[in-house]
Amino acid sequence: MTTGEIRAEKKASAPSRRLHLAGNALRWKGATPWMLLAPALALIIVFTLGPTLVTLLASLSHISLIEKTWTFIGLENYREAINSEEVWQAARNTLIFSVLTIGPSVAIGLGLALLVDSFSRGRAVLRTLLFLPMTANLVAMSIVFSWIFAYRGGFANSLLAVFGVGPLNFLADASTALPTVAALEVWRASSFNMVIYLAGLTTIPLVVHEAAAVDGLRGWAKFRRVLWPLLGPSTVFVTVITVIGAFQVFDSISIMTDGGPLGATETVLYLVYRLGFRIFRFGYASALAFLLLAVTVLLGLARARVLARTELR
């Protein structure tokens, strides 16, 4: 998307540039653009791009907060990370969490979008109601989910008791803790994915629906052969967004489990937080952060490539 965007921009601006140059070119030269850009650019460099480079440098160093010293130690932090059982467990948890989140939230989001779209009336109201999970505060909802899945008096266990099952200690049991945190993420992400799919559905021209009707395509056949391919870009988009979201999950883990029990819900980002801000191993934490950043950026670029390709087609 990045390069596509720039290219489209250039093409669109070519005639207007000529106009400007033909007209009063001097006015647009000189210091004006720089003065307008300077505050934003300076802040982006100081607080986003600079720190990213600092993370890279920090990952190659040993940092002491008390003595305020940085000692260059090469790839030592990365070597330690790769050999650490803790890191591998966090990576596994992150991967499991992503898998638990992506499939359900993309499928539910798509299902809801098709469902809402199938009504001729009341779509706006349905969309509003189904989007509410996304507007909720994550700390607040983590508390509410902790309560719903509480061992004693929790709604989930009351419900299970009706079927003679349980009670389960959802958040304190290593086998159920991660899926329970993932449930909150699925609840939220589904509502966001629905909105994106709904937007995707509205871009499908009426002609396509008419053509499908002429060809006698209805129901499942129409979905599989017409809608699903046309929704391709939306699917790529929601999938990558959900993965990136899963990689960055922090609030719910902090509130619901604090990474426990016994590290069963500790994701890579949560490990970065714990190593950096509880044990103050900033160098080591930076190495992990940089590895996570690398994967996230690669995903972002992969999405950009796929989107650019589908747009060109």
Partner 1 sequence: MIGQLRLGFWVRVMTTAVAISVALFPFLWMLRTSVASVEEQRSLAISPLPASFDFGNYSAALQEGNLISAMLNGFIVCAAILAFQLITVVPAAFAFSVLRFRGRSVLFLTVLSALLIPVQMTAVPNFLMMNQIGLIDTRWALILPFATSAFGVFLIRQQMSTVPTALVDAARTDGLTTTQTLLRVHTPLAMPAIAAFSLFSFYVHWNDYLWPLLVTRSESLRTPPLALAIFQQVELGFEFGKLCAGAAIVTMPVLIAFLLAQRRFVEGMAGGEIVG
Give residues 70-109 in contact with partner 1 (rule: CB under 8 A): none
Q: How far apart are CA 122 and CA 265, in angstroms?
A: 40
Alpha helices in the chain (DSSP H): 2-22, 25-28, 32-44, 50-59, 76-82, 85-118, 123-135, 138-148, 155-162, 177-202, 206-214, 219-222, 228-230, 232-247, 251-256, 268-277, 282-312
CB of 40 to partner 1, least distance (A): 4
Give the alpha-carbon dihedral of 201, 204, 207, 208, to 10 degrees.
-80
Residue with tokens 């899963």: 246
Nearer to partner 1, 207 or 278 (CB): 278
Tokens coding 202: 């509205």
Nearer to partner 1, 48 or 83 (CB): 48
Amino acid at 246: A
Contact 198, 117 (CB under 8 A): yes
Binding to partner 1, residues 237-266 (CB under 8 A): 237, 241, 244, 248, 250-251, 254-255
| Binding track over 270-309 against partner 1, x by CB under 8 A | --xx--xx----x--xx--xx-xx--xx--xx--------
* Beta bridge pairs of residue 71: 62
Contact 227, 118 (CB under 8 A): no
From 79-87, 90-98, 259-267, 269-277, span contacting partner 1 (CB under 8 A):
269-277
Nearer to partner 1, 181 or 269 (CB): 269
Binding to partner 1, residues 138-167 (CB under 8 A): 138-141, 143-148, 150, 152-153, 155, 158-159, 161
CB of 289 to partner 1, least distance (A): 5
Nearer to partner 1, 207 or 273 (CB): 273
Look up residue 69 and give its DSSP letter: E
Contact 177, 257 (CB under 8 A): yes
Count of residues in contact with partner 1, rule CB under 8 A: 105
Binding to partner 1, residues 163-222 (CB under 8 A): 187, 191-192, 195-196, 199
CB of 235 to partner 1, least distance (A): 14
Binding to partner 1, residues 7-66 (CB under 8 A): 9-10, 12-13, 15-17, 19-21, 23-24, 27-29, 32-34, 36-37, 39-41, 43-45, 47-52, 54-55, 58, 63, 65
Other C-beta atoms closer than 10 Å to the C-beta of 80 total 16
Extract the runs of DSSP E, i.e. beta strands, from the chain: 61-64, 69-72
In the list 116, 227, 231, 306, the residue contacting partner 1 (rule: CB under 8 A) is 116
